Structure 1
Amino acid sequence: MAAMDPSSNPLRINDNAQPSSSSSSSARSALPPPVYQANEDDSIISLHLPERLLVLPPAAFALGAFVGLSRGGSRARLRFLAENAHRPPTTVQGWYFYTKTRNYRILFGACRQGAKDALKLGAATALYVLAEEGVRKMRLGIRNMVNVEKAAAAARDSGKGKGRESVVEAVLEHEMRLAKASKADELVWLDGAAAGSLLASVVGLLNKFPTALFVRTLAFGAILGTVEGGLRIAQEKIRSLKEGNTEHVEEPAKDGAGVAE
């Protein structure tokens, strides 16, 4: 039997043949789409904003807008009356345009003054909150640093443990106590007084107040900051009392449910 030439075999597959574009595209379309898997090492950007920064500036903005609208409308009305006192209208058409122009002037003056006062008061309140938060962070940082040094020195001198581990444990316990105590901070009024004085001094320097007015502005800012800090302390006290009463009420209920079971 004669040997068959492999080149003449119609069923022979060419090794050098390239796949067609249609087959490759269909193969790619058959593949599932890539799935993104979250990596645990991905960095997370977080921003902590004080609750007061979301409440006080908008409230101050609204108050400034209300006061500015009232003041601006009254000033615009008086200015228009003073400018046109020597030329009152004498006809019905003249009185119509006179009243129309006066109303437009009052509306424009009220809106302009309201926007100015709202922006000024809102920005000043936001700066006050940021200054108070900065003073608080600085005060707590200094206090924690001093207390941690004291705790480390006490742990080294007491001889409760051996080596560096005992010092680290003592420092960690002290930081946990400070974290619990910071929730009921009694020196919040001091932060408010410092922030109010700082903001009042900046306002006085920018407006170049005389000495007497500058001192009054400084005292007024300190008093307002102290009052705001006192209100925050009272709010925290009321909140802690409510939480304590809630826990006290829930515990007997759980005990009664366990007995009934």
Structure 2
Amino acid sequence: MMQQGASDTSASASRAAAANADLPAPGSSTSPDHRPQWSPIDFPRLQMSTPARLALATTGAFAIGMGLGATHGGRTAQLRFRAEHAHRMPVRTTDWYFYHRSKNYHAVYGGLREGLKMGARLGLWAFGLVWLEHTMDRYRGRADLISTVVASLSVSGGVSLWNRFPLTTVARTTKQALGFGLVFGGLQDVLALARGNSVGYVDFVRRRLGSPASSK
């Protein structure tokens, strides 16, 4: 029985050694069979993970929309207040004080309301853009400006469809979205190449020209 137990132990050790031999060594390149599934964390855009980019893009777009909307809304509210009270302008100093106080109140309220609306709108668009960009990266297995262009055009098409823009406005927003996608995606690709990351269409062109593709 002791010999049988020793033989079982040696057989188990042999199987474990064989299993460990199949695993890649730490720091070595993995074979295609053991290569992990592509993840955007491997080549993060702007050296940031997707949740961080979502939060930054949404917050930044909301802040920009808040500032623009508050400025436009405040001026519009002031003009509306003056138009509504043009037929009964104040005469005394006290009346002028209350007039300007009411005008400032309407300006602040109108600016805050319009700022929140525009900030939420731009924040939603930015969130959708980054999320669609990330989805295209996951679907295609690579991160480059093609995903950014597709995401920009998708958001532009959704906004145009939601607002029921005429064809001329749809064409203009589509051109703007295409330009934004090319510029923003191109800048991301330039930064990725500068850091030694791989860019899909650049590697394709290099393979066609016979030069080695960049790898990280």
- Is this a same-fold pair by TM over 0.5? yes
2:176 aligned residue (220, 239, 257): 220
Counterpart AA for 1:233 = D
Q: Which has the larger radius of gyration?
A: 1
By relative contact order (CA 8 Å, sep 6+), the higher-ranking structure is 2
Percent of residue pairs bearing the same amino acid type: 32
Counterpart AA for 2:98 = F
| TM-score under structure 1 length normalisation | 0.54
Counterpart AA for 1:237 = L
In structure 1, the residue matched to 2:140 is: 139
The root-mean-square deviation of aligned C-alpha atoms, in Å, is 1.6
In structure 2, the residue matched to 1:179 is: none
Counterpart AA for 1:63 = I
Runs of 4+ in 1 over 6 A off after TM superposition: none
Query: What secondary structure sits across from 1:240 in the alignment?
Result: coil
* Cα deviation 1:71-109 (Å, max 9, x = unaligned): 111111111111111110011111111011001000001
Partners of 2:62 and 2:95 in 1: how far apart? 39
Partners of 1:84 and 1:222 in 2: how far apart? 46
1:230 aligned residue (179, 186, 189): 186
In structure 1, the residue matched to 2:156 is: 200
2:147 aligned with 1:191: yes
2:89 aligned with 1:97: no
* Cα deviation 1:19-73 (Å, max 9, x = unaligned): xxxxxxxxxxxxxxxxxxxxxxxxxxxxx85042132111111111111111111
In structure 2, the residue matched to 1:240 is: 196
Partners of 1:67 and 1:235 in 2: how far apart? 29
Partners of 2:58 and 2:195 in 1: how far apart? 23
Query: What secondary structure sits across from 1:90 in the alignment?
Result: coil
| TM-score under structure 2 length normalisation | 0.65
Q: Give the total of aligned pairs.
A: 149
Gaps of 5+ in 1: 1-47, 141-181, 242-261
In structure 2, the residue matched to 1:83 is: 84
Deviation of residue 237 (structure 1)?
2.6
1:28-67 mapped onto 2 (5 Å cutoff): 50=50, 51-67=52-68
Gaps of 5+ in 2: 1-40, 42-48, 198-216
